[in-house]
Structure 1
Amino acid sequence: MTDERLIKSADRVKDVGEVFTPKRIVDLMLDQPEISAKVNDLTATFLEPSAGEGAFLTEILTRKMQVALEGSTSVDNYEDRILLGLSSLYGIELMEDNYRMLRHNLYQTFAVNYLRGLKAKGQPEHGKPKVLKSAKTIIFANMVQGNTLTYKNVHDQPIVFSEWASYKQEGRIWVKRTTQTFESIVEGEQTDNGLVVPEDSQLDLFTDFDPDTNEVKSKDSYLQYKPVQIVDVYKEELVDTNKE
């Protein structure tokens, strides 16, 4: 017998159908050949539409980080690869307490495995702040509190995910961050427009307010994320296309 908690309360089971998946079931599912092959691919994406506290996503992350470690050629390459694996994981969770634990658990899983990997490579076990900060940035971008069925977040705005298009440059992994609404991804309407969509203030970036008419007017330009090394995504550098 284990001490795993499968429910938080009978009311939550009744109201939102909340039941947690036991670790042995998670392992059994991820050990299936077709799933295991994707776990071994650092760029293969996983979306957990009802992520809970991250039972599936933390285990996938642990496995992907091991793949990244085993295939790395240097410490820099290892750090690039573990962030690449992390960037492939997405989650949506309705309940606020679960959502907070989801982000916490993913970050802790990343940090612990990152330090273990450094130790395996004979490196200091404190890690680089920019790697940890970039991991947090990716987690906060890829994990959303909202309703999968309505495609809306807790602010009743469209769920927006970041996509991280990776490429190699001078031996390092770089990414071009763009944003897509969850609904457009499901419907296959990939625009790849690079628009920056903040979770609860979308209007500010896409429109200007005209004080003379008290109306909102469309901007002629929009902001994009600047391509950066994946270890530098924490900077979240933006480029105004009107100035390019």
Structure 2
Amino acid sequence: MTEEKIIKSADRVKNNGEVFTPNRIVKMMLAQPEIQAKIHELSATFLEPSAGEGAFLVELLKQKMAVVLSKSTSAITYNRNCLIALSSLYGIEYLEDNVEMLVMNMITTFNQLYIQDVANFNKKPSQHVLDSAKVIIRVNMAQGDTLKYVNADGKPILLSEWKPVDGKVNFVQRTEYTFESIVNESGPTNTVAGETEEMDLFAGSGFFEEKPKAKLHRYKACRWTDIYKQEIEFMY
């Protein structure tokens, strides 16, 4: 059995305080009843503010995908539900090499589970789902300093809200917000031992209330499986 590494180097621990959480601890923390209740809500959002290579987020994705499979009655609902679940997971990580691994780990995990589980509905994997999942992951996994609200380029950390369109169950609209505005307007509603936060990320983030310094985009409403097209409605 390969030994699980919790540090990459002594220098990284000294300079950045980087220590990874062992998988058994991750599972134990996520097994708490209040967290399990949220995992079973497909759209309940989770933010990992020190995401590392994705120990918490990958496990959350695995557990949410299992819920998706149990709640879906057809390939159509499964395709939609797995993207809804994926869009609820957010991560911010300071070290750029960790962000690259985080994105890769999330994409690999999603692809493996999706390709495996969609077969339960006697359907082949949809390339549109796979492409849309990549967009969601790359948007939701951000590099930055959560204390200063900026990324390595000194620009605001951006996160996107994926909001279902009223009256159109298969449609979603994406709107960008700065991480700072989200924290200032809503903030975390629950914390799991200081590691994983379940947040109503966009509560109170009214579209006309925010006055960001960054150039933000609102995207055209589209089907969940068409997210990959990234068609901009306007910039604000």
TM range (shorter): 0.7 to 0.9
Give, in angstroms, the shift of residue 30 of structure 1. 0.5
Alignment partner, residue 17 of structure 2: 17
Letter in 2 for 1:81: N
Give, in angstroms, the shift of residue 116 of structure 1. 1.3
User: What TM-score, normalized to structure 1?
Assistant: 0.83
Letter in 1 for 2:182: I
Matched, 1:233 2:230: no
Give, in angstroms, the shift of residue 2 of structure 1. 5.4
Alignment partner, residue 180 of structure 2: 183
Give the % identical residues.
Answer: 49
Give 1:1-244 correspondences, 5 Å limit. Answer: 3-124=3-124, 127-167=125-165, 169=167, 172-188=169-185, 190-193=205-208, 202=214, 224-240=218-234
Describe the SS at the equivalent of 1:132.
helix
Describe the SS at the equivalent of 1:97.
helix
Deviations 1:21-63 (A, max 9, x none): 1110010001000011111111100000000000000110111
Give, in angstroms, the shift of residue 97 of structure 1. 1.0
Aligned length: 217
Tell whether the 8 Å contact from 2:176 to 2:218 is kept in structure 1 after alignment: no
Tell whether the 8 Å contact from 1:178 to 1:194 is kept in structure 2 after alignment: no
Give, in angstroms, the shift of residue 193 of structure 1. 4.7
Which consecutive unaligned segments of at least 5 residues does structure 2 have? Answer: 186-203
Higher relative contact order, structure no. (Cα contacts within 8 Å, ≥ 6 residues apart) = 2
User: What TM-score, normalized to structure 2?
Assistant: 0.85
Task: Quickly say closer, same or farther: Cα 1:86–1:241, change in 2 above 3 A.
Answer: closer
**Distance in 2 between residues matched to 1:141 and 1:235, nearest whole Å:** 13
Task: Quickly say closer, same or farther: Cα 1:111–1:194, change in 2 above 3 A.
Answer: farther
Task: Quickly say closer, same or farther: Cα 1:114–1:24, change in 2 above 3 A.
Answer: same
Alignment partner, residue 193 of structure 2: none
Give, in angstroms, the shift of residue 122 of structure 1. 2.8
**Distance in 1 between residues matched to 2:219 and 2:167, nearest whole Å:** 17
Tell whether the 8 Å contact from 1:68 to 1:82 is kept in structure 2 after alignment: yes
Which consecutive unaligned segments of at least 5 residues does structure 1 have? Answer: 207-222
Give, in angstroms, the shift of residue 107 of structure 1. 0.4
Describe the SS at the equivalent of 1:52.
coil
Deviations 1:118-147 (A, max 9, x none): 1222333xx111111100100111111111
Task: Quickly say closer, same or farther: Cα 1:193–1:160, change in 2 above 3 A.
Answer: farther
Task: Quickly say closer, same or farther: Cα 1:119–1:187, change in 2 above 3 A.
Answer: same
- Flag the structure with larger Rg: 1
Tell whether the 8 Å contact from 2:165 to 2:221 is kept in structure 1 after alignment: no
Letter in 2 for 1:225: Y
RMSD: 2.3
